[in-house]
Amino acid sequence: MTGGRARTAPPWSYAVDPETWPDARITGEPAAAVVQTIARRLAAALRERPELSLRALAAQSNVGRQTIGDLLAGAGWPDVLTVCRLERALGLALWPGSNTTQCVHD
């Protein structure tokens, strides 16, 4: 199944207070909560590495800078390959419950 109804609205739109994304409470769409967790973990990783810009992460991960920005803003639904590439580039798990050996290590 590709997308379905869940993808008609961006993840941030399921937040009770969208202005506080990615820290807002999510209602109505469990997949939006997963994207929110990924966005939180990605934002935290970037804060911990101030030398790593979106452009540098895009180059290291082979994920577009706009795609990374959309993920951070809750504006897009990342696919598994995107998350895996970001995890590998960062060396940490972004997916909730992820086993870091899946994408981070070959």
Tens of pLDDT, residues 79-103: 999 999 999 999 999 987 766 556 6
What is each CA distance from 31 to 2, 36, 77, 99, in whole angstroms?
Answer: 14, 9, 9, 19
How much is the average pLDDT of 17-33? Answer: 91
pTM: 0.85
The pLDDT-based confidence of 27 (bands split at 50, 70, 90) is confident
